[in-house]
Amino acid sequence: MIAKFSLVALDCPDPMALAAFYSGITGWEITRPGDEWVELTSDIGATIAFQLAPDHVPPTWPDADHPQQLHLDFDVADLDTAEGAVLALGARKPATQPGGDDWRVYLDPAGHPFCFVLED
């Protein structure tokens, strides 16, 4: 092993607002609030961080002119129920949905794609 994974960080124009959005999805606690860097920490050791990027240009998924570069997946028990809840938090659902009945793509308030995947 060369290194131990510690977190994934997303660039965004408002780290605290995006952390609050993902906290609403996961229930994870905001453990390191700040103006330029905010962290959400789970009880399973995963951490998502949000970094201030005032000139952030969101991806235009699925358009390759501004590709997504990465996305987050979240397992859900029911896609329809999860969709209603995440749209109420401020997510957007793009027209392109390649997942069929197994998963759906959404965009967070900063434009990052993420997916809800139906649990096995």
Q: Which CATH number fits domain 1-56: 3.30.1330.40, 3.30.720.120, 3.40.50.2300, 3.40.605.10?
A: 3.30.720.120
Name which residue leads in pLDDT, 69 or 97. Answer: 97
Given CATH 3.10.180.10, say whether it is the number of domain 58-120. yes
Q: How far apart are CA 76 and CA 94, in angstroms?
A: 19
User: 87 vs 83, 102, 115, CA distance in Å?
Assistant: 6, 18, 13
Residues of the chain with CATH 3.30.720.120: 1-56
Q: Could you tell me the pLDDT band of residue 66, with boundaries at 50, 70 and 90? A: confident
Query: What pLDDT sits at residue 24?
Result: 97
User: What is the pTM for the complete model shown?
Assistant: 0.89
